[in-house]
Structure formats: structure tokens, C-alpha cells
Structure 1
Amino acid sequence: MRDEKRLYHNAEARISYHLRKLGVKIGIKGKLTLYVARHSWATAARDNQIPISVISEALGHHSEITTQIYLRFIKSSEVDDANAKILAVL
């Protein structure tokens, strides 16, 4: 189990590294990370009426309560504004 956790964190770090490089390359001012990608996916899923149980499973949360807390901090309008800004520079 310890090796699996280490492998996961190494993969997470590599993905975030490449997302940051991509963000710089395409001129995104904020830092793209796996965390940002996960939040974006979860928000899109929620906004498309994907059940919380499915979102929770996809994110690897042990509890749907964790997923509900996770989504509570995301305002769809803020994500929509951010996506519009990103698409405008592409």
C-alpha cells in the first residue's frame, strides 16, 4: 500500500508539472495543476447532473460528504468566466 501511495503522488507531481508547463506555453496566468483539473472536471460533472456518488467515485473520495464539501467551494460562474478567458486567448 505504501508503494501505491508513493506511485500515486509521483504521478500526480508529474501531471501537475506538465500542466504547469502547458499553462505557461499557452499563456494562462494561473498555475494549472492536477488539483485544478480535478476541480474543473468535478464542476463540469456536477453542472451536467452527474450524481454525486459517481463524482465521488471518480475523484477517489472515501465519502460523498467529502465530495459535497469539495464542490461547495466551486462556483460554476467563476469556472465559466475562467473558461471563457482561456478560450479567448486560444
Structure 2
Amino acid sequence: MATSYADSAQAREWDRRYDAWGREKRPQANEFHDYEAAALMLYQLLDERRDRELIERKASAKRVAGAVDQIGEFWGMRKKP
């Protein structure tokens, strides 16, 4: 019985049926998932997202600080420079 690629019952049944037809099994290139490449891509996306969020937080902090300064100046709580 040919179960070189998996141990599941479904894989063994597929092997049995395919071998019974007398055809050679040829693995297709798209049957296998490259988990390492997928994990690397995920880590890169997470790094990019983290960097983008940091930039957005810094920009938001500047906008909030500017708005607070304007409110303070309007109500006379802070002198204009």
C-alpha cells in the first residue's frame, strides 16, 4: 500500500483507488503548501502593519497636541508664542 505522503485514512483510500486503476501517481506542484514561506510572509505583513500603526499614532499625537494647544489659546489658558 502506498502511503508515502500522508497517514490519513482518506489518503490511503485515494492511494488504493488510484493504484487499482493501474496509473502512476504523480504529485502536482500545487498540492503542497509551503508553510515556511507563508509564515515569513505573515511576519513581514505584521511588521509592516506595526510600522504603519506607529507612524499613524505619532501623527495622531501631533494632531491632538495641536488641537489641545488651539483650544487652550482660544480660552486664554495659554499664551501664543
TM-score (norm 1): 0.30
Structure number with the higher helix fraction is 1
Greater relative contact order (Cα < 8 A, sep 6+): 1
TM-score (norm 2): 0.34
In our comparison, the structure showing a higher alpha carbon Rg is: 2
